[in-house]
Amino acid sequence: MPTASQDAITRDNVLIQNDTSVFQRINEPEKTVYRIRDVDSAISTTVAGIVRAEIGKMDLAEIPANRTALITTFKKLVEGAVDQWGIEVTCAEISDVNLDAATRAAMMQQLNAHVMHK
């Protein structure tokens, strides 16, 4: 699947944008054909929900420190969701996590104010 971008809200209510990549292989085409109509759309929707749920469990500051665990959990949850469709996930990655421009500007302003008070 091509890299997809999703918005997610952290536990501390910060909007982030993240890019995900999922590589899959259809192992049981009969399950895939009879259980879903559009493989890419089904996986994309599943991935978006999983990413939003997992990011929503963390504060923004926790994401960089827990990136490896987040990616491992993400891959495991995607694998579990698509297995019933006869699909094997060969790789699942959260490749980039970005703040929206307004949040980034507010954080820089807060950082500058903190530095000025020292």
pTM value is 0.78
Tokens of 112: 């500058």
* 113 class by beta-carbon count within 10 Å (0-12 exposed, 13-18 middle, 19+ buried): exposed
pLDDT above 70: residue 117: no
What does the domain layout of the chain look like in residue ranges? Answer: 4-117
User: What topology is assigned to 4-117 in CATH?
Assistant: Tetrahydropterin Synthase; Chain A (3.30.479)
Matching residue, tokens 């890299």: 3
Q: pLDDT tens across 2-55, in order?
A: 688 888 999 998 889 989 998 999 999 998 888 888 888 888 899 999 999 999
